[in-house]
Amino acid sequence: MKRSRCGAWCLMLASGSALATSSGHTGELLFGLFWVVLAAALMGTVASRFGIPAVVGQVVAGLLIGPSVLKLVRPEEFFLTLAEIGAIFLLFMVGLETRLGELLRVGREALLVAVLGIALPLVLGFGFGFWQGQANVSALFVGTALVATSVGITAKVLQELGVLNDPFAQVILGAAVIDDILGLTLLAVVSGLGAGQDTTAAQVGLTLGLSVGFVALVLTVGIPLVRRGQARLQELSLSRAFNVALVVGLGLAALSTVAGLAPIIRAFLAGMVLAEVKDEVAFESTVHAIEAFLAPVFFVVVGLQVNLGALTQLPVVIAGLVLTVLAVAGKLLGGLLGARSLGRREATLVGLGMVPRGEVGLIVASLGLGAGLIGEPVYAEVLLMVLLTTVLAPLALRALLRRERLVQQAP
Amino acid sequence: MKRSRCGAWCLMLASGSALATSSGHTGELLFGLFWVVLAAALMGTVASRFGIPAVVGQVVAGLLIGPSVLKLVRPEEFFLTLAEIGAIFLLFMVGLETRLGELLRVGREALLVAVLGIALPLVLGFGFGFWQGQANVSALFVGTALVATSVGITAKVLQELGVLNDPFAQVILGAAVIDDILGLTLLAVVSGLGAGQDTTAAQVGLTLGLSVGFVALVLTVGIPLVRRGQARLQELSLSRAFNVALVVGLGLAALSTVAGLAPIIRAFLAGMVLAEVKDEVAFESTVHAIEAFLAPVFFVVVGLQVNLGALTQLPVVIAGLVLTVLAVAGKLLGGLLGARSLGRREATLVGLGMVPRGEVGLIVASLGLGAGLIGEPVYAEVLLMVLLTTVLAPLALRALLRRERLVQQAP
């Protein structure tokens, strides 16, 4: 505890000392980073003090320093990219704590949760848009935004509470990987429809096949390869070992570009592959330090992107609240039905874990607005839904886990 | 050794797994970062294997993947900002290893080295430009580019060799702080002249006074404050400690914006202030891990910015080589004369340590080109000088230190 406090202390002083007189815009960006780090440290600590997950405090911190309230920092490309690197290290870290065997043991549940957690929100979102009188494509886009899952938010909360290796957490992680594959395919199809292109079943099948094949390949070929390679790598000279890493890294890179998976899911897979050898090689603390620096940046930037300026009209706010209820209901029901076999309490946890829409929901909404497929009011409704699910789900998750632990300790 | 290898391994796999299909340009930037990290790891290792400082390998790596040769990565704002953060953490780290008392003990030498290391290159550069028949302002700009010192390059080499606490290294660090203050003042004056503004002596005095006053204030007030505050901070609750840090951080930030120091020098000062309490608080390893990730990015980006495309004409190349000789002679002489009292060998080391122009030289040259004060050929000459001083000085420094150590071990 003492250590992490001083890490943040230092980071703040280092960033503070980096404030800008230097070359123009770079200086402004460093200044912005100072605010982001400061806000993350401050709000994260305040949240933890009140028994709220630090993640929630950091998303709210982003909302506060962003364009909606204090206008200190704009969500520029630099911050978006740095945030993505933060998410990558976070998921890489989570992957390091995951063993394939344990994940496969709950494979059936994960698949069910993922499929139901896509189908139910899609139908609910489309129905809502249809009922609102939106065009078909617009209603489809609302449905797609409801499908998004931000595994980063949930993963961090589970990591904070130290329950990443519980069966329900494994179901969430497995379902997130499947969700990502199916969700991105859906997004491609809907975007294609919006652009007036008909996507053939063959194309959809190809995209799906590539993604699934890639994941299967990494897990079935990558893990044995790393296991076998490790023994040889330790004998190899430094530069030779790097050449091997180069080939592995480039190969993985080329393959995953073709497969079209989200970077954070690939980072999760890479972490999982390396988890097999992590006990022999001490790289965990290095990755952890970088994650401790950049993951809070990711959460703040999620908040930063939510510009609540459009939420001035009561009908939009009410529609956004209804959408939020549907978003929660869809994923919760998906979890309850899909993970039924784990028992009701665990299934509820799974459902809650799938609720946060986070940065994925924001990306879908921005794509739709940018392509002219949804209008400003619908965009604002989706934004409110993303913010509420991202902030409320971790609160509920933590509260439920606390209560469960008390019940377990009682007898 | 084993640990750092695997840190890099991981980083590469994490970055590799981050390759882009994601949202457009962000994806491209992640792809670029993968190349940067890969090139840094590979060339750094190769260099170390041949007894060359890793820094040199990394600058060359940047040259190779940059616009001059392979054209894999362009020096975009994202990389420049990330590089600056890397330099900040590097200098913060170096500051942590520096104690004020030891620095002040060589204060006289540091001041002399800084002043001579500015006057001599300025005169030599101006004379060269004048002899070439350049306009007065253009010749002055060449002189200013020759004044620049990149303390980051030298500091990393000294850190690698574990001699940061030797007296000569302290002279270099002290001289770098003074150099930065005087150099930035000079750049402001010359830029003002170029823009047709006359800078009054009063303005120059004010700028200088503010910078010097800020450094003095941080060292005389900051260190006792941190020392006293530490005892209380450890008693304070988590959130209260953060409030204190917030005030300190913001105060330092506001002051340094006024003072107009370079961010990396401020990071060095912040590190030096915190060095007083580092033994009681375990934050060093956290900062070190982030530095290990981002400092190589800094060195690669220095190489990335050197576009050698303009170096096709023989006269330009020859002029650039002459400029390099003058650049080396000016700083070497400054060190030899200024640090005379340390003995000839140590004084040579000081002079060599001041030679690399690195990113500071590039910034000066870009400013001059952008404002139309120097032409393309002169810009190319300065670029060649920057590259050669940045790559050759660490080589000479290391060779000399090795020989010296052998001589010391002999008797």
- What is the dihedral angle through the alpha carbons of A310, A313, A319, A320, rounded to the nearest 10 degrees? 40
State pTM to two decimals: 0.76
- Domain assignment present for residue B153? The answer is yes
- What is the model's pLDDT at position A297? 87
Tell me the H-state helices in A66-106: 77-96, 100-105
The low-confidence residues of chain A, meaning pLDDT below 70, are 1-27, 194-200, 203, 207, 229-267, 270-271, 273-287, 404-411
Domain count, chain B: 1
Chain A 239-258, residues with CB within 8 Å of chain B CB atoms: 239, 241-243, 245-246, 248-250, 252-254, 256-257
| A166 phi and psi angles, rounded to 5 deg | -70, 150
Contact assignment for A256 to B21 by CB distance below 8 Å: yes
Chain A 360-379, residues with CB within 8 Å of chain B CB atoms: 363
- What is the model's pLDDT at position A347? 93
Rounded CA separation B323/B320 (Å): 5
Residue corresponding to tokens 């506060």: A64
Nearest to B5 among A30, A238, A248 (CB): A238
Chain B 1-60, residues with CB within 8 Å of chain A CB atoms: 1-3, 5-23, 25-27, 29-30, 33-34, 38, 41-42, 45-46, 48-49
- Domain assignment present for residue A108? The answer is yes
CA neighbor of B371 nearest in space, from B125, B62, B135: B135
Q: How far is A313 from chain B (nearest CA, A)?
A: 31
Nearest to B14 among A17, A239, A267 (CB): A267
Count chain A–chain B contacts defined by CB atoms under 8 A. 267
Nearest CA in chain A to B37: A246
- Domain assignment present for residue B273? The answer is yes
- Domain assignment present for residue B19? The answer is no
- What is the model's pLDDT at position A21? 36
- Domain assignment present for residue A368? The answer is yes
- Domain assignment present for residue A379? The answer is yes
Sequence-ordered strand ranges (E) for A338-405: none
- Domain assignment present for residue B11? The answer is no
Rounded CA separation B222/B27 (Å): 42
Contacts of A297 in chain B (CB under 8 A): none
Nearest to A22 among B10, B84, B292 (CB): B84
Question: How many CB atoms are located within 10 Å of the residue B111 CB?
Answer: 15
- What is the model's pLDDT at position A122? 92
Look up the CATH number of the domain holding residue A343.
1.20.1530.20
A198 interface with B at CB cutoff 8 Å: no
Rounded CA separation B140/B188 (Å): 12
Pair B19, A230: CB distance under 8 Å: no
- What is the model's pLDDT at position B11? 46
Enclosing domain of residue A83: 51-303+311-403
Rounded CA separation A75/A77 (Å): 7
CB proximity list for B209: less than 8 A, separation 6 or greater: none
Contact assignment for A17 to B267 by CB distance below 8 Å: yes
Nearest to A283 among B10, B267, B282 (CB): B10
Mean pLDDT of chain A: 77
- What is the model's pLDDT at position A67? 86
Chain A 72-101, residues with CB within 8 Å of chain B CB atoms: 77-78, 80-82, 84-85, 88-89, 92
A286 interface with B at CB cutoff 8 Å: yes
pLDDT along chain B (411 residues), means of 10: 40 42 60 82 83 84 87 85 80 75 83 92 92 86 87 85 87 86 77 67 72 75 72 52 47 54 66 62 63 83 81 87 94 93 91 88 80 84 89 89 65 44
A238 interface with B at CB cutoff 8 Å: yes
Test the B interface: residue of A1, A3, A6, A305 with most B CBs within 10 Å? A6
Nearest to B17 among A22, A266, A286 (CB): A266
CB proximity list for B350: less than 8 A, separation 6 or greater: B109, B113, B168, B171, B172, B175, B335, B338, B339, B342
Pair A278, A98: CB distance under 8 Å: no
- What is the model's pLDDT at position B172? 92
Contact assignment for B48 to A22 by CB distance below 8 Å: no
CA neighbor of A246 nearest in space, from B295, B57, B45: B45
Rounded CA separation B9/A244 (Å): 10
- Domain assignment present for residue A14? The answer is no
